[in-house]
Structure 1
Amino acid sequence: MTTEAGCPEDGQDIVIVSGPAGSGRSTAIRALEDLGFEAIDNLPLSFLPRLFAEPVARPVVVGIDPRNREFAMDRLMQAMAEIAQAGGQAPVLVYLDCDAQTLVQRYSETRRRHPLSPNEAPLVGIERELALLAPLRERADVLIDTRAMTPHELKAELSRQFGDEEARGGLAITLQSFSYKRGLPRGADMVIDVRFLKNPHWVADLRPLDGRDASVSAFVQADPDYAGFQARLDDLLSFLLPAYRAEGKSYFSVGIGCTGGRHRSVAVVEALAKTLATKGWQVSIRHRELERTAGDAAPIPGMGVA
């Protein structure tokens, strides 16, 4: 349950945020603090189980990275297991993912030294840290790719994930449109290819528009294959989502892809979001390629290098 401020009342939410230096960890911690979480950063790992030995009065976010005193992957995993055993609920591990090239660019813009290579090039430390954190990335409950995100977009994503647990009924659903030319979205639990639908790109009047426009949406839905596809996808999700919620899953991400990520995938995401919302699911939407082409979607130099 949540208070009017969006802060869970049961005091059981424990979120651990990690990721390579420069991926936006400090931004994420501040965002969750704004949502009512008590924020703790760079806590020695030996203190972690003791911190949650007793029930906490408010949700807590803990920042963890290799700069933490006593950091070791096996020690962190053991601490998380002890927290789950003591409280009956495992912490939610949020991993902020980012590729080495983007991290190098961020360090070059801020001219800061990497904590794992203070006397060497930043790339050396970045590669060391990515290798060290690889098991944590595989273990993550929530994986957020921050390479093309501004701090504002990262804050908005965390707000969608953690800001209103009661409304999302225990399962937060994210629908993301994307272009296959730019690769699959990271962290997606399910990926659907809609390139079989007729492409509005080849209609001169529709080409400059995107799938949020009513005329583009109508064109996509007029495809003879659309109705059958929509019905089957609706049936599949109607079966899967309650099952995942019953199993205890908190987050479910669906990627809908087409060639350019502007027309068919966007229209399908918009329609699917409305369908799920009418059934009571809390749904967030992200149109990856539209965000990348928007004027305010360019990453702010040095985001979250801390």
Structure 2
Amino acid sequence: KSTVINALEDLSFYCMENLPFDLIESALDHLTREKNGPQRFAIGIDARDKRFVKEFKNLTEKLRKKFRLDVLFLSSSDEVLAERFSTTRRKHPLLDVGGELIAAIQHEINLMQPIELAADASFDTTLWSPHYLARKAEERYSGADLHRKLQVTVVSFGFKHGMLKPADTIFDVRFLRNPYFDPNLKHRTGLEPEVAAYVFEDPATDIFMEKIVDLHSFLLPAYYLEGKHYFRIGIGCTGGKHRSVALAERLVKDLAAKKIPNVELSVSHRDVMIGQGI
């Protein structure tokens, strides 16, 4: 924990360790009101504050409404943690609870498991040197992050070739009219204007597009504020050749026209070369 805190101090973070639970929100409120005060903060906390462990979800929900919050969880194997405490001769914060060092470590792991599951990122430091851990922290929180973008990729795919994974949102467009049934379009793709025009002649297509553009115009800024770096939108039809391709291309253009701040858009077509489905 101290290694990461020291690395963040080198990046001009205002760092605090083991701040009492009741003071976390008020301290951040006070510091952010200071004229020309610090803009980036890091708070290192471990399992010794039982209220923090119990109230973690409520606290982070409140903080995310005010700040761009990123929760980094540090973990390691029991054996390596025990070795580190023995080497540094530091007392484990829960040693009185566990009696034995390894029991205290296991007790801490159990206490912190809900926090690990809810964290934005988790570093398993079992095989990491302090230098490597510091470098990974610097990579995640370097100054470039001040100007970060949410990388949004729209991916067309065919359900017959398997579900798109991973994806943040997925839309099934098999309800739209299908160019597969037009002999002149069957062996072409949604990248071609004639195929796209056929798909968009269906009145439902424009209505559907308007709704998913509105949805993502709301979602993308919200996920950016949550600290998300990547967002993947899946558009699926049967074979991944006609409808999904045409809609994916249009969705990127329509979202770009919205000029959503801090968003970079790209499109890819997973199955366009193999999609032969109806």
Q: Which TM-score applies when normalising by structure 1?
A: 0.46
Q: Report the 3-state secondary structure (helix = DSSP H, G, I; strand = E; otherwise coil) of the residue aligned with 1:71.
A: helix
Which residue in the other structure is 2:113 paired with?
134
* Matched ranges for 1:143-292 at <5 A: 143-165=122-144, 169-170=148-149, 247-248=223-224, 249-251=227-229
Q: Report the 3-state secondary structure (helix = DSSP H, G, I; strand = E; otherwise coil) of the residue aligned with 1:61.
A: strand
- Measured after TM superposition, the shift of residue 99 of structure 1 is 1.5
Distance in 1, Cα, partners of 2:145 & 2:13: 16
Go from structure 1 to structure 2 and tell me whether the alpha carbon gap of 1:144 and 1:168 turns closer, same or farther (over 3 Å shift): farther
2:41 equivalent among 60, 76, 80? 60
Tell me if the contact between 1:29 and 1:63 (Cα under 8 Å) persists in the aligned partners. yes
Map Cα deviations across residues 212-241 of structure 1 (whole Å, 9 max, x no partner). Answer: xxxxxxxxxxxxxxxxxxxxxxxxxxxxxx
Which residue in the other structure is 1:104 paired with?
82
Go from structure 1 to structure 2 and tell me whether the alpha carbon gap of 1:79 and 1:143 turns closer, same or farther (over 3 Å shift): same
Which residue in the other structure is 1:114 paired with?
92
1:125 equivalent among 96, 104, 109? 104
Which residue in the other structure is 1:35 paired with?
11
Which runs of 5 or more structure 1 residues have no equivalent in the other structure? 1-24, 173-188, 191-241, 253-279, 282-306
Distance in 2, Cα, partners of 1:153 & 1:160: 10
Go from structure 1 to structure 2 and tell me whether the alpha carbon gap of 1:155 and 1:245 turns closer, same or farther (over 3 Å shift): farther
1:48 equivalent among 24, 28, 31? 24
Percent identical pairs in the alignment equals 24
Larger Rg: 2
Tell me if the contact between 1:31 and 1:159 (Cα under 8 Å) persists in the aligned partners. yes
Go from structure 1 to structure 2 and tell me whether the alpha carbon gap of 1:110 and 1:41 turns closer, same or farther (over 3 Å shift): closer
Which runs of 5 or more structure 2 residues have no equivalent in the other structure? 152-164, 167-215, 231-263, 266-278
- Measured after TM superposition, the shift of residue 107 of structure 1 is 2.4
Which residue in the other structure is 2:63 paired with?
83
Tell me if the contact between 1:84 and 1:91 (Cα under 8 Å) persists in the aligned partners. yes
- Measured after TM superposition, the shift of residue 76 of structure 1 is 2.7
Q: Report the 3-state secondary structure (helix = DSSP H, G, I; strand = E; otherwise coil) of the residue aligned with 1:92.
A: coil
Tell me if the contact between 1:142 and 1:251 (Cα under 8 Å) persists in the aligned partners. no
Distance in 2, Cα, partners of 1:111 & 1:38: 27
Q: Report the 3-state secondary structure (helix = DSSP H, G, I; strand = E; otherwise coil) of the residue aligned with 2:92.
A: coil
Go from structure 1 to structure 2 and tell me whether the alpha carbon gap of 1:82 and 1:158 turns closer, same or farther (over 3 Å shift): same
- Measured after TM superposition, the shift of residue 39 of structure 1 is 0.7
Q: Report the 3-state secondary structure (helix = DSSP H, G, I; strand = E; otherwise coil) of the residue aligned with 1:95.
A: strand
Which residue in the other structure is 1:221 paired with?
none
Q: Report the 3-state secondary structure (helix = DSSP H, G, I; strand = E; otherwise coil) of the residue aligned with 1:36.
A: coil
Go from structure 1 to structure 2 and tell me whether the alpha carbon gap of 1:37 and 1:124 turns closer, same or farther (over 3 Å shift): same
- Measured after TM superposition, the shift of residue 37 of structure 1 is 0.3
Which residue in the other structure is 1:257 paired with?
none
Go from structure 1 to structure 2 and tell me whether the alpha carbon gap of 1:121 and 1:251 turns closer, same or farther (over 3 Å shift): farther
- Measured after TM superposition, the shift of residue 51 of structure 1 is 1.6
Which residue in the other structure is 2:51 paired with?
71
Root-mean-square deviation (CA), in Å? 3.2
Go from structure 1 to structure 2 and tell me whether the alpha carbon gap of 1:37 and 1:112 turns closer, same or farther (over 3 Å shift): closer
Tell me if the contact between 1:39 and 1:62 (Cα under 8 Å) persists in the aligned partners. yes
- Measured after TM superposition, the shift of residue 159 of structure 1 is 1.0
Q: Report the 3-state secondary structure (helix = DSSP H, G, I; strand = E; otherwise coil) of the residue aligned with 1:123.
A: helix
Distance in 2, Cα, partners of 1:251 & 1:98: 25
- Measured after TM superposition, the shift of residue 100 of structure 1 is 1.1
Tell me if the contact between 2:82 and 2:102 (Cα under 8 Å) persists in the aligned partners. yes
Which residue in the other structure is 2:196 paired with?
none
Tell me if the contact between 2:11 and 2:143 (Cα under 8 Å) persists in the aligned partners. no
